[in-house]
Amino acid sequence: MNPPLEAGPPDQYGLVGHPVAHSWSPFIHGMFAKATAQHLVYRLFDIAADDFRRETLRLFTSGVRGLNITLPHKQAAAELVNELTPRATRAQAVNTIAFFEDTTLLGDNTDGVGLICDLERNLQVDLADKRVLLLGAGGAARGVIGPLLERELRVLTIANRTLFKARKLAAEFADMGQIGGCTFAELQGPPCDLIINATSASLQGEMPEMPDGLVGEQTLCYDMAYGRGETPFTLWARSLHARSTAKGWGMLVEQAAESFLLWRGIRPSTQPVLAALAQHT
Ligand code: NDP
């Protein structure tokens, strides 16, 4: 049986982004808190880019102990904190902030470990020597490139609507492995082993225009976006007979468990939450 919950007001956590209304993070952290008998609340804070710095600092001075950060603020969050973990330094993007009693604001990035956990543990993907294509060069892409390259891929290609961002990211991580940046139109076959959609196009109901030949019968297509039913990206992948498709639910839950670990010192079990989400979505 779990020990009794502490008396007194709950510790405050939450998610800052714009938009955030679609988020399942309160549900996920609520389940984690219950399973680990942690006395906390987790709320959504919709904060626009212009207000991000001021409003986020205000949340911490008003007693919030930890925040997740989502689009479009991950790079701004890396500039806001006064300390970064090594993986957040590498990414220059932050999805988790912990506020400690000595007033340190520590920025971490759990997106990469969340994606790798989902691919390897939940989906049983072996990443070594694979040809991987990453679509998008925003905050989420920044967080996953280092952890992907640590798996000794054969090659990682970053394709983005805005070319200079793809090239810049490829240059930043060139010391870690075989990596290149290009536009969607410049992509060429042979088919990739894994295509990860880290654009926010799915949120707008869109799919970038892609050349033929990237998807074969061995290709796994992973959309970081999550929601009910198919996304434009998973529909595209299915129309090209990809081996399988997945959405970002597993990444979402695994990155949340890593944030919870940073805040509370306990890594909750993710399987019950994944099972509950599968019933709700
Ligand atoms: P950002 O706003 O930082 O970056 C958005 C990226 O999407 C940029 O590369 C942008 O290209 C590209 N983009 C936006 N609209 C389009 C479009 N219509 N066509 C092509 N490219 C487009 O967002 P994040 O990186 O933080 O998030 C990206 C996605 O990943 C979101 O859907 C988010 O929900 C998801 N995500 C999921 C997680 C999970 O746990 N499952 C964790 C983190 C993110 P450009 O540079 O040209 O503007």
Dist. CA 42–CA 29, nearest whole Å:
7
- Interior angle at CA 254, CA 184 and CA 52, nearest 5: 70
Residues having CB within 6 Å of any atom of ligand 1? 71-72, 74, 111, 114, 136-141, 160-162, 165, 198-204, 206, 208, 224-226, 248, 251-252, 255
Determine the pLDDT at residue 1.
42
Segment (H or E) for 275: helix 271-280
Closest by CA to 144, choosing from 234, 258, 229, 31, is 258
pTM, two decimal places: 0.95
**Active-site pick, 74, 130, 168, 247:** 74
pLDDT in tens, 44-68: 999 999 999 999 999 999 999 999 9
At residue 227 the predicted structure's pLDDT band, cuts being 50, 70 and 90, is confident
Q: How far is the CA of 45 from the centre of ligand 1 (A)?
A: 19
Which of 3-12, 76-85, 138-147 shows the lowest mean pLDDT across its residues? Answer: 3-12
Which of 1-10, 170-179, 229-238, 240-249 shows the lowest mean pLDDT across its residues? Answer: 1-10
Six-digit token string for 190: 């042979």
5 pLDDT above the threshold of 70: no
Segment (H or E) for 151: none
Sort strands 40-46 and 83-84 into parallel, antiparallel or unpaired.
unpaired
Determine the pLDDT at residue 133.
98
Look-up: residue for tokens 């007001």?
Answer: 9
Cβ-based neighbour number of residue 212 at 10 Å: 9
Instruction: With both helix axes pointing from N to C terminus, report the angle between 139-149 and 163-172 in degrees, rounded to the nearest 10.
Output: 40
Contact 49, 18 (CB under 8 A): yes
Closest by CA to 192, choosing from 167, 165, 217, 224, is 217
Six-digit token string for 273: 């939450």
